[in-house]
């Protein structure tokens, strides 16, 4: 397909303003986007389920409320796509896995309710790597999602469907989850803004867990202002999430126009030097150009060192599979989802999981179970947690000297289907994003030009705990600079 402008029907800001003023109806906005989905979804495969009837009913209700003079919220009439690992009451929620076949949640995730309360209208549940385990959306029980910029390439993962939906113009906003880079890497591949908030800043209630100490929900958008608006809607304390930070959502839109004069930006030497293999020259060139743009705008840029950052993948692939092994034990064929017959309970459990889980999920469950087994827990899982603690110390030390850090988002532009069939080659896609998950810090990927193949490249801004305001401030400056980026 020829790539359509993602904001073909307007940004979230412009749509909401037009709907609130009566210039447009929510019904017409939804119909435009559903028509776009009908026309191109067959090529992209962004969705596991399109919520056409539900979206039209919600839009009609919204128009009635607006006509009655009601303030329906800052995202009035804005279509939004939900990653299919976020519970949505009465709507199939599958995690792109056969194991959840036929399950309709009896409740919605907090973020789903907050979007609806702000006037947003869900138009579909997005495809993903099964249980969010992957970096390409090739590991889905419902087939791969394709990158709207080039249908022969992946959209990234695991939130590839959420990214592709925005890149294809199906919705101006979407939500993904990020356990090791699953929002930021697809954002880079699809030319979008993608946000991983501080761990606990956005409620995970209703998110089907992968790695509970790593998972975080965040938005995809076509520009920084829309990403900031959607962050403000979904963030804030939730008493139903025991890990939720007990403070309101940060006003991240407040400094988008403030510039970066006087801000201190660090470049992690281990992430742009020779310590990490596989960084493509065109990606390094765009990251260097982003640093230069910040200097031109008045920031100071210097190198810094976080030695443990190069061990992030090794630590992550102990911690995340261990937590997945525990979390996925609930899918046993007894209470919900797929159930295969067996002569006894153990046989039924085995048959259900064998038929229900894909190869990558099985691989990570086995790795995690091994890492937690007697005699190995301290050597593997315990050691990974020590690396994680050391990494947090090093980041804290660096943030005493710098306001934000700048890195590539991914080592390359979007790759072809099947190009990373070796699991280790696939895992290396997250080398720049994993550290933020391990230490719980916020990070954002911002489009900054294109690679030698013409495909999008994103650069990543990292900030300290609850440092989203300055993170968005820097992201907005990079967006302005990228307007003239080659």
Rounded CA gap, 334 and 97, in Å? 16
Residues 444, 196 contacting (CB under 8 angstroms):
yes
What SS3 class is residue 217? strand
Torsion angle of the four alpha carbons 20, 21, 23, 26, in this order, in degrees rounded to the nearest 10:
10
Residues taking part in catalysis: 83, 158, 182
- pLDDT value of residue 290: 98
Helix (H, G, I), strand (E, B), or coil: what is residue 477?
Answer: helix
- The predicted pLDDT at position 7 comes to 58
Between the two ends of the chain, the Cα-to-Cα distance in Å is: 23
253: which DSSP letter?
A: G
- How far apart CA 218 and CA 203 sit, in angstroms, is 10
Reduced to 3 states (helix: H, G, I; strand: E, B; else coil), residue 218 is strand
Residues 244/111, Cβ–Cβ less than 8 Å: no
Nearest residue to 434 (alpha-carbon basis) of 86, 185, 164, 132: 185
Query: What was the pLDDT predicted at 3?
Result: 47
What is d(CA 150, CA 479) in angstroms, rounded to the nearest whole number? 23
- Predicted confidence at residue 440, as pLDDT, reads 98
φ and ψ at residue 308, rounded to 5 degrees: -75, -10
Closest CA to 192 of 469, 444, 465: 444
User: What pLDDT sits at residue 5?
Assistant: 47
CB neighbours (10 Å) of residue 336? 16
Strand, helix or coil for residue 306: coil
* The pLDDT of residue 335: 81
Tell me what pLDDT residue 129 has: 97
- Can you give the pLDDT at residue 6? 55
Q: How many domains does the chain contain in total?
A: 1
CA–CA gap between residue 429 and residue 434 (Å, rounded) = 10
CATH number at residue 92: 3.90.1300.10
DSSP notation for 160-197:
HHHHHHHHTTS-SEEEEE-SSSTTHHHHHHHT-EEEEP
| Distance (Å) of CA 263 to CA 400, 419, 472, 477 | 13, 40, 13, 12
Per DSSP (E only), the strands in 367-433 are 404-408
CB 44, CB 205: distance < 8 Å? no
The predicted pLDDT at position 316 comes to: 95
Give me 68's structure tokens: 């009655």
**For every one of its 486 residues, what pLDDT tens digit does the chain have, with 9 covering 90 and above?**
444 445 568 999 999 999 999 999 999 999 999 999 999 999 999 999 999 999 999 999 999 999 999 999 999 999 999 999 999 999 999 999 999 988 999 999 999 999 999 999 999 999 999 999 999 999 999 999 999 999 999 999 999 999 999 999 999 999 999 999 999 999 999 999 999 999 999 999 999 999 999 999 999 999 999 999 999 999 999 999 999 999 999 999 999 999 999 999 999 999 997 677 789 999 999 999 999 999 999 999 999 999 999 999 999 999 999 999 999 989 988 888 889 899 998 899 888 888 989 899 999 999 899 888 888 888 889 999 999 999 999 999 999 999 999 999 999 999 999 999 888 889 989 999 999 999 999 999 999 999 999 999 999 999 999 999 999 999 999 999 998 443
Q: Which of 140, 142, 194 is nearest to 166 (CA)?
A: 194
Q: Which phi and psi angles does 261 have, rounded to 5°?
A: -55, 125
Q: Say what angle helices 52-67 and 12-21 make with each other, to 10 degrees.
A: 50
What does the pLDDT read at residue 8? 65
Domain that holds residue 105: 1-486
**CA distance linking residue 309 with residue 276, whole number of Å:** 10
**Residue 1: what pLDDT?**
43
Q: Do 194 and 176 form a contact (C-beta atoms < 8 A)?
A: yes
Task: Give me the phi and psi of 221, to 5 degrees please.
Answer: -155, 170
């Amino acid at each position: 397909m020829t790539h359509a402008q993602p904001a073909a029907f307007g940004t979230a800001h412009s749509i909401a303003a037009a709907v609130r003023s009566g210039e447009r109806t929510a019904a017409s906005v939804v119909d435009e986007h559903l028509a776009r989905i009908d026309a191109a979804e067959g090529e992209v495969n962004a969705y596991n389920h399109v919520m056409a009837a539900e979206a039209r009913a919600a839009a009609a209700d919204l128009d009635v409320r607006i006509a009655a003079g009601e303030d329906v919220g800052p995202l009035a009439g804005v279509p939004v796509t939900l990653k299919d690992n976020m519970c949505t009451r009465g709507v199939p929620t599958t995690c792109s896995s056969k194991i959840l076949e036929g399950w309709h949640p009896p409740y919605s995730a907090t973020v789903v309710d907050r979007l609806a309360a702000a006037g947003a209208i869900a138009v579909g549940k997005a495809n993903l790597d099964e249980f969010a385990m992957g970096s390409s959306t090739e590991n889905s029980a419902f087939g791969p999602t394709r990158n709207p910029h080039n249908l022969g390439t992946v959209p990234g993962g695991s939130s590839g469907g959420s990214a592709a939906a925005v890149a294809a113009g199906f919705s101006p906003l979407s939500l993904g989850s990020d356990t090791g880079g699953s929002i930021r890497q697809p954002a880079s591949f699809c030319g979008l803004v993608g946000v991983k908030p501080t761990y606990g800043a956005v409620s995970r209630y209703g998110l089907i867990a992968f790695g509970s100490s790593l998972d975080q929900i965040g938005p995809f958008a076509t520009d920084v202002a829309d990403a900031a608006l959607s962050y403000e809607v979904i963030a804030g304390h939730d008493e139903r999430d025991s890990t939720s930070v007990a403070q309101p959502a940060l006003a991240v839109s407040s400094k988008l126009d403030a510039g970066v004069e006087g801000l201190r930006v660090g470049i992690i030497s281990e992430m742009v030097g020779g310590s990490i293999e596989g960084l493509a020259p065109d990606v390094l060139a765009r990251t260097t150009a982003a640093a230069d743009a910040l200097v031109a705008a008045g920031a100071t840029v210097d190198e810094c060192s976080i030695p443990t950052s190069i061990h992030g993948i090794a630590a992550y692939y102990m911690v995340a599979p261990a937590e997945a092994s525990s979390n996925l034990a609930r899918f046993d064929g007894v209470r919900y989802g797929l159930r295969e017959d067996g002569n006894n309970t153990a046989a039924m459990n085995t048959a259900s999981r064998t038929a229900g889980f894909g190869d990558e999920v099985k691989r990570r469950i086995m790795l995690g179970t091994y890492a937690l087994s007697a005699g190995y827990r301290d050597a593997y899982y315990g050691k990974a947690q020590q690396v994680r603690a050391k990494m947090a110390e090093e980041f804290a030390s660096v943030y005493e000297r710098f306001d934000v850090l700048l890195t590539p988002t991914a080592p390359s532009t979007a790759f072809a289907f099947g190009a990373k069939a070796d699991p280790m080659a696939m895992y290396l896609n997250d080398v720049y994003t994993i550290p933020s998950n391990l230490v719980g810090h916020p990070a954002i990927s911002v489009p900054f030009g294109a690679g030698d193949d013409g495909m999008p490249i994103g650069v990543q801004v990292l900030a300290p705990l609850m440092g989203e305001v300055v993170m968005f401030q820097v992201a907005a400056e990079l967006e302005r600079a990228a307007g003239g980026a080659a």
